[in-house]
Each structure stands twice: as C-alpha cells, then as structure tokens.
Chains A and B, each alone.
Chain A
C-alpha cells in the first residue's frame, strides 16, 4: 500500500471514510442534544436569552401548575410502559414460542400477518382504532353485543379512567410483532442437541419451554425490555394522532412526549416556551439515561450468556 522508502504517512483515507458520518451525527444529533440540555438553563426576558441556572427545573418541580402536569405525564408514561411490559412482551413471547415449533405449517404466513400492524403509521393506527371504538360507528358495541357482552361497552377513549389503558393496548396491538420476531430469532438459535438431550430426559412441551428455552432467551427479553422502555418514554405520535396535543380527556393520556410538545409549541392560550420545553426534554433524557444505565450495569452484566 505505501512506499517502503518513505515514513508511515498520515492515512487520510481513514479521515475521509469517517468524516461524513461523524459530521452529520455530531451536528444533527449530539450537538443539538447538548444544546438542548444547555437551553434548559436559560429563559427569555424581553426577547433576550438570559442565564437562570436551575430556575427552570425549580419551576418544573416546584410550581404546582407545572409539577402537577409533569408528575401526571410521568405517571401516565409509567403506566403506559407497565402495560407494554405486562401485555405486549408476554404475548410476543407466547406467539414466538408457538411459531418456533418445527413443522408448524403456514408459520411464515402467520409471522408476516401478525407483523403488519407494526409497519403502519401511528396516524393510521390511532384513527383506525378511534373509529372502531367510537360509539357513533358501533363496531365495538355491535361485536360485544354479538357475544352477549354489550353491557361491557363504554366509549373507552372518551373516559378518563380508561383512555390511557385503551391507548396503551392499541400500542401493544401495534408493536407485538417486534418482541415476537426477536424472541422467535432467539428461539431458533437454540441448538437442536440441547432440546433433544432434554427430550431424552423426558422434558418436553411446556416443561421444555419453562425450564430450557426461557432461561436461554432471557438476554433477548432483557434487550426487548430496554427497547420498550426507551420507545415508551419517548412516545408521542399515537397519543397525538388519537387524542390531539391536549391528550384528553382532561390530560388523562398525557405522557412526557405530548407534554414536551405542548410546552415547546404552545397550545390554545399558552405560548410556546422553548426553554421550558428543553427543561422537560432534559428530564426525559435523565429518565432514559437512568433506565439504560440500570439495564447495562444492573441487568445485562449479571445475565449469563450462553455461547453455542
């Protein structure tokens, strides 16, 4: 490659290869991220940016108008995450376990069909479910009526007590394909010899799943959990598409993403405030960072990985 007589040259091609990615990534992702954290320390007075230290955070956590909204959004976001962990991931694992049976016919058809909601946009999903659950159209009450359960029907999206859970379940419906696929992949990578050895010992069926496969796919479940966590605490689109920026009824579906959007852009009578928006973004950043660190240092490093 290089002339043996000369000294080792500076390898410019490394710089050329790295520069575009590093520049775009730094300029559009990393720099704005830190700039947002920095902006949370400023406020606007007479159209000038003034440094105020941690004042915005004091307002967010201390001023009751702000702190009630913040804790409401955080609590709702947490519930959103809990529903995903309790419903989406177990259903995904169960579907993957069924799909990974050898000799199951039509497996690829089921797999592709169940993945379809995941590829649809939040706008489609939000509106489609809004229409289906709407009391005006009557598909949901009609179907419940057909199985004699009409009394169970309520306009779920319009009731404060149910709206958030309903939307969480819609989101679960949409994204169940992701844990299904990842667990399916993990299950396929378990060597046949292990399962055969278990079979010789008389461990088959459900016992084989609980005692052999589940422990082996735990690392994948860990990854799915952290992906779910990051996605949930950064969610916005579904709530916005189905309930609007006000996350109604009466903020009962407000999560951190919609709260930040409203604060940043303003709504109705409230003016947009980029500095308070940055403050909320910084809080979200801290929450996600804590979650990811807990996972990396608390869970992943302790998990036993098996190499086949």
Chain B
C-alpha cells in the first residue's frame, strides 16, 4: 500500500494502465459520435478526425428524424421504464416491509419463493409469457412490457429492500403504533422515507437493463406504435444499413439518453454497488 505512495514508478504504471483501459472503453463511443457529424466522404476518408467546417454535416440526423419516429420510441421507452420502476418500487417495498416487519407463518418460505427469481432468468418462460399476453390481449401494448419488467425486477428489489427495512428502528414504529397510526400509515409515512436511499439504488439497478432490453420488446411489442428506443434503433439501423450517416446518427441518438441518465445517476449507481447492496 505505502509502497505505491513511495514509489513514483508504481503510480505511473497504475495511471498508465487505467488510462489505457479508459481509452479502450471510450474509443468506440467517441468514433461513433464524431463521425455522426461528418459528411459521407469524410467518414470514410478520415474516420478518426474530428469534424471541421469542411466535413461537418447533419445529413444523418436529418434522415433519422425524417424516417424514424424516434420521439415516439423515446416516449415509449420512458413510459415503460418509469412505469416498471414505479411498480417494482411500490410492490417491492410493500412486500419487503411485510417480510421484514411481521412474524407470520410462511414468512421464510415466502421470502425464499420471492428470492428464486434472482437467479432464474425470466426469459426462460418467454413462450408461455407470449401465449398469456396474446390470450389477455396485452400483446403489442406497453402494459405487457411493464408487467414483465416488474415481475423481473421484484425479486432483487424485495431482497435488497427487506435488508434495509430490518435496520429501521423498532422504537420509531412502536411510537407510531402508540400514537394510533395504522400499519399502512407506518409503512408509508415512517418507513418509506427512511429507506429512500435503498429505493434509489434499486431504481438505478433496474433502470438500465429495462431501458436497454431488446428481447421482450422484440417478442411482446414489435408493433410500430409501441416500439421502444432500443428496438426502434435496431430496426432502423437494419433498414438503413448502407446509409452510414443515418446509422451513425441513429447510434448517437440512442447513446444520448442513457448517457444523460448515467451522468445524473452515476453517483447513486456507484454508491449502490460499492455499499454492498448486491452481496
């Protein structure tokens, strides 16, 4: 440990390795974004050059905005992600509270039953999920996706939140009971505000996989009016595969929202991971 502080060579080596890997991590994103602002000729002539007054062009973005309905896709992705997170957090917190707070017959079994889904991927049941969604008429609606992502997110949410709810002081809850608060009020008024950091962690963990998922939109909601941004860009790029300007612009537009979310929530995400919420 101290050797690193004493020996400048070690420090340089550490920075060298980290810089090298940072470049590897960022290079593809960088290349895609800079080339999306260039003319077709410049993309091929000097792929690594920054756009200048000569090679700058927004033709790709024009094609994308004219041909693809990216605002609609973005809106669909927003609805699905926010809706799923809302239900994961609400239902997950309620179940976690029941498991953490009350002793009742079957508590342990119920906890294990809900934890099963942490390790078993929901995709295995896709054939039957599609059949069910067709029967209930939910196929090609955003509700199908919201239900699936809620079910997928609940196990880990219940697991993490119940760990945190066990730490909420009993005195506080009992004081509330003496004051005549109902169990529902104790949950919503006293406990929920105290576990807000844990809820944020759960939200951030679930947000990115839901936003990025391709499998369920492809299978449950492929219709034009309910396409998510991930599926929409996949289909768009597939159709315009020879139009490099359009493909690069579509990729950049798809990167933009996730990067914005990441910039906003990265501290929360990293704190969540490093605080050992997923041991």
Contacts and interface: CB of A to CB of B under 8 A. Distances in A.
A40 to B, nearest CB: 9
Contact of B47 (A28, A115, A142, A223): A142
Contacts of A125: 28
B263 to A, nearest CB: 9
B74 interface: no
B158 interface: yes
B29 A112 contact: no
Contacts of A22: 95, 110, 113-114
B273 A33 contact: no
Given A20-B94, A101-B14, A32 B132 contact: yes
A103 B158 CA distance: 37
Interface stretch (A51-59, A70-78, A159-167, A229-237): A229-237
Contact of A21 (B31, B119, B158, B248): B158
Nearest to B158: A21
Given A18-B98, A104-B14, A116-B29, 17 more contacts: A14-B102, A18-B110, A31-B132, A35-B128, A36-B125, A116-B259, A121-B211, A123-B237, A131-B244, A138-B44, A173-B25, A199-B1, A205-B4, A237-B213, A257-B215, A277-B126, A288-B121
A11 interface: yes
B262 A116 contact: yes
A139 B258 contact: no
Given A25-B114, A25-B117, A95-B21, A120 B214 contact: no
Contacts of B276: 185, 189
Given A21-B95, A24-B91, A182-B278, A205 B3 contact: yes
Interface in B92-116: 92, 94-95, 97-99, 102, 104, 110, 113-114, 116
A115 B265 CA distance: 13
A278 B32 CA distance: 39
Interface residues of A, number: 94
Interface string B259-279: 101100010011001111011
Interface in B169-198: 177, 182-184, 187
A104 to B, nearest CB: 6
A83 interface: no
Interface of B: 1-5, 10-11, 14-15, 17-19, 21-22, 24-26, 28-29, 31-32, 43-44, 47-48, 87, 90-92, 94-95, 97-99, 102, 104, 110, 113-114, 116-117, 119-132, 147-148, 150-152, 154-155, 158, 177, 182-184, 187, 208, 211-215, 218-219, 230, 233-234, 237, 244, 247-248, 251, 254-255, 258-259, 261-262, 266, 269-270, 273-276, 278-279
A187 to B, nearest CB: 10
Nearest to B242: A136
A1 interface: yes
A132 B68 CA distance: 24
A29 B125 contact: yes
Most buried by B among A25, A94, A132: A25
Contact of A33 (B128, B183, B234, B275): B128
Contact of A98 (B17, B25, B114, B147): B17
Interface string A122-144: 11110111011000011100100
A156 to B, nearest CB: 15
A123 B233 contact: yes
B127 A277 contact: yes
Contact of A208 (B1, B259, B279): B1
